[in-house]
Structure formats: structure tokens, C-alpha cells
Chain A
């Protein structure tokens, strides 16, 4: 157990060393927030540094393990035959659901990471990351039409992040079903969730989408007229959606009396926000903010309201991704519940992910 701690500490130290070094090398970062958008000027640099630091942390972790044991068990264990067989199925789930189901629903969500999240939860973070990355690369470079898509490969780093985070949440037991939670603990869980949503909403969303007063989508440009009524309505719709989601979650919590739902909700929210931040620069640089899905109209609306392309893409992502990922996490939670324990427990991280069976 102590060896694992040494590895984790070495990994964390490497992460922070690279982070600090990166910030020093790139010079002073302009972290003053743009008064209109709340965006930091050096946003892209920070993302790049974070990514390199994360990579360095992982490599340091692996190197320490290799030095300690001459093997890389914690990584190779995530790739047993069962996982190797699961990955193609998971990729197929990503692609088929991402392409058909989301297209059939015609709503601005993607649903293209169910398989990635499943592998992350069942097999571990590295396996999840590999699944996500491979899925997007295969989607673009290996699959022939009609399943082929030109637009997946540039986003592969986002898919890697989703798999990685899903694996970490899985190991921490966020996908455990917690039936028959006593009402007092349910209430605490509910309060925590509402507080998290409120904090994220207040500090993370309101500054992005309004200019002082609670009128989402208002044009931030100075001297502009009152916001177009269309955007005000859209803004309130979004607010209603968020409130509806929270109310729905609370109802679910108390009807099913399963605190697991709260954990899943928080995990989905976190992954969604991180995904939005990473995918925004890719989407704006490579595709001009247009990926042919239902989310394009949102980007257009934000741009019309006066945002630059990158801001508009980020704003769209911060709306769509948390909704998409929270929904996806709930779907995975439901799928795990539908699978037999015997099946789940045989995966490398299965027991940690869903807990031990009582029977």
C-alpha cells in the first residue's frame, strides 16, 4: 500500500513541477479576466500546459512503479483479455449511438461516449483513455463509409480525458449503487449537490452568459441595445432546464432512495465542464465552430450576440457538455445496474466500481 502512495506522490510532484515550469517558461500569463466574458486571455496556453503536466505526472507514476517492481502491473492489469474484447464493443457503442441515436433525437447532445465511460469504469482510467482515443481515431481513419466521420479524430484528446476521468470516478466508487440510504444522509447528499450546482452556476455560468443582470445571452458589447427577445427566452429555457435537472435528481434521490444518483450527477457534471473547456479551442480552430450537429445553432446564436468565435464555442460547450455527460453517466449507471454482478466483477476494476455483492 505504501508503494502506491509513493507512486501517487511522485506523479503529483511531477505534475506540479511541470505546471510551474511551464508557466515560467511561457512567461507571465495574462490571467486578468476579460470584463465582458470572464475568459482569461491565456486560456489556451494554460490548457496546453495542463495537458503536458498531466502527461508528465502519468509518466512519472508509471516510471516509479517500474522502478519499484520492474513491471507495470497497475497499467497492464487494465488490459486483460476481457477488456480487450470489451473495447471494440465499446467503440461500436460510441459510434452507433453517437451517429444514429443522437441524430434521430435531433437534440444538441452527442451521446458518443457511453462505451468509453463503461470501459473506464470497469477496467480503469488508462483503459478508458485508450478506448476514447482509439474510438475517435478509428472513427476517422479506419472505418469505411457509412460509419466514417471526418470530425472525430481532432477531438480525440477530449475522448481520452473522458475515459481517464470516468476511470478515476469508477475507482473512487462513484458508480456504486447505494440503495436504502437513510433519509438524513439523502438530505445531506441533496444539499451538497444543490450547493455544487449553485456554485458552478453562479461563478461558472452566470458571468459567461450575462452582463450583470440575470439575462442570459445578453450582448456584452458596450452601448448595445436591449438583448434580442429570442435570446432572453433561450436563456430562461436554459435556466429552467438546469433547475428541472436538479429537481429531477432530487426526486430520483428520494423515490429510489439511492444516494448513488447524486454521485453520478456530480461526476457527469465535472467531466462535462472539463470536456467543454478542452474541446472549445479544437472546435473553433479546426472547424470554425461548426461540427454539423445540433449544437451549431447555439454557436451561431452566441456569435450573433457579440461573442468571438472561441467564446461562442466555449459557451455552447459549457451548456451542451455537462447536460450530455450527466445524461451519459446516468445511462452508464443504469447499464451497470442491468448487468449481472458476476459479469461486472470479472473486469479489472469491476469490484471497486460497483461494490461487493452481499449474496
Chain B
């Protein structure tokens, strides 16, 4: 079952090193298109694992990730664009923004922070809602953020979006933030804070009777998820080289939620695995779709798989458990040693 905490760090370090070697290998050998596909997979991992904090650990059903990605993406993009290009692209930008030219990492973190701030402000009223109602309110948040992005033309260039952004995101950045996200979420889940969150999910009344500040915990998890989503938004924007109000739609919310639910709400390993499998599946189906001229078939197949899994395994693939993947991968070697 779930790996004991004391074995986590060494395993994580081994996995991180192996991953870094693979990243170096890929970076040196693959063409930019294949690299960008791998980066999209990495972004999906960040998104799924971070949404898991809200939806999995504490059991708040939020669909708001695309809204936070939009916020994070715009903030990072506006801070990074050099002033001379801003003058052409965004002539009406307020002077204090027009003069900024940040480097990538601070801009990403600023994007995440603003997204977290939005989550904090929105969270106070919205997190009072439950279940379906929270889901729909956060869905509404996507449309509201979109509306603002369309209409605050001086800052966002409206529905036209900001294009021709520098290609700053590379595999190393995505890999770094994948590691950070997984590490933070894993440590959170196995800390007393994380246990408290799980307790709220299992029985809110009992938890609050034991003195847990339920409202505060909810906001905390919502804000953490939003921060990571904001960073993912900034990375996405500088990978695709543009952002528009429709870049992050509620279809994306659906895709991320599916990763969390199929992996088992609360299971980080599950979220990572399903994020990888679903992204690879979509990419594999794409050439088939183009060759057969059946545009839309890939989305349909993925949705169909989701239905089948929901019917046959309503708790997701792993529930809340963290299967010991490193051990599983190493097992054949141990066996051969023994033999």
C-alpha cells in the first residue's frame, strides 16, 4: 500500500535523478515538436497533481483550474514581454506595467501568486458551497475570468490574445516544476496538515468537532492548487507562445478532473499515471485521426474510456492509495539477483 514516509525521500531522489537523465537524453535527441508534446504531458502532471489537493485531499469539487491558469498565464506573459514589444502590442498598458521586463522564473512565480490571490478572494464566498454547487460556481469562475480577459483590452489585448511570446519554456523548466509539485503535494498528504484535510473529506462534522478549522483548511488547499495552476499557466503560455481568453476552456477543466478522478481522488501516483496515459493516448490518436480524416474521434474515444472506467471502477484506479511504483519497477532486478 502507501509507501511509508521514511522511504519516500530516497526513492524520490532516485526517481528524480533517473528522470533528469531521461530529460537530458530527450533534450539532446528529439525535435522541437516531440519535445513540446513531452512538455504538455509534464504540464498535465502538474495540473492533475495540484487539482488533487483540492478535489482529492479535502474533497472540494472544483473545476476552476483553467481560470487560475488564465490569470497566471496573462500575468507571466505581460511581465516577460520586453517593453519595446509591449509598446506595439499593448499601447494602452498602464505605465508601471509597460516598463517591466522580468526574467522567466520570477514572472512565473508572480503569475502563480496572483492566481493564488484570486483564489483567496473568490474562495471566501464560493467555498461555502458544496458538491455540485461548488463545481458549477467554479465553472462560472472560468467564464467570468474569460469575460474579463476579453474586455480588459488595455491589459490583455482582448479576445485577440497576446501572440508571438518568447519560447522560454523548455523541458527542464517543466520537469523542475513537476518535481516541485509532486514533492510538495506528497509531503503535504503525509503531514499532519494533509491528514487533517483527509479527515475533513471523510467526515467534516467529526473533524470540526475535533477542533479542525474546516473553512481555513479549505481556503488553504484551494489557494495552493490555484498557485500551482497559475504557474502551469505561465509555463503553457511560453510553450505555445500565445495566450488568448479561450486558451484555457472548461473542456480543459474536464480533462484535468478526469485525470484526478480516474487516478483515484487523493492518489498522487494515480493522478501522475493517468495524466501521462491520457496525454499519450491523445497524442497517439491524433495522427490516426488526421490520416482517417476523423477529426474529433480522439476526444470521443477518451470520453468513452472515462465512462467505462467510471462504471467499472467508480473509485478510480487507485482510490487514495499510493502504489509503490519504484519497488514495482525494481522487482524484476531483485528477483534476478535472488535467482
B and A form one assembly: no
Q: Could you list which residues of chain A lie within 8 angstroms of chain B, going by C-beta atoms?
A: none
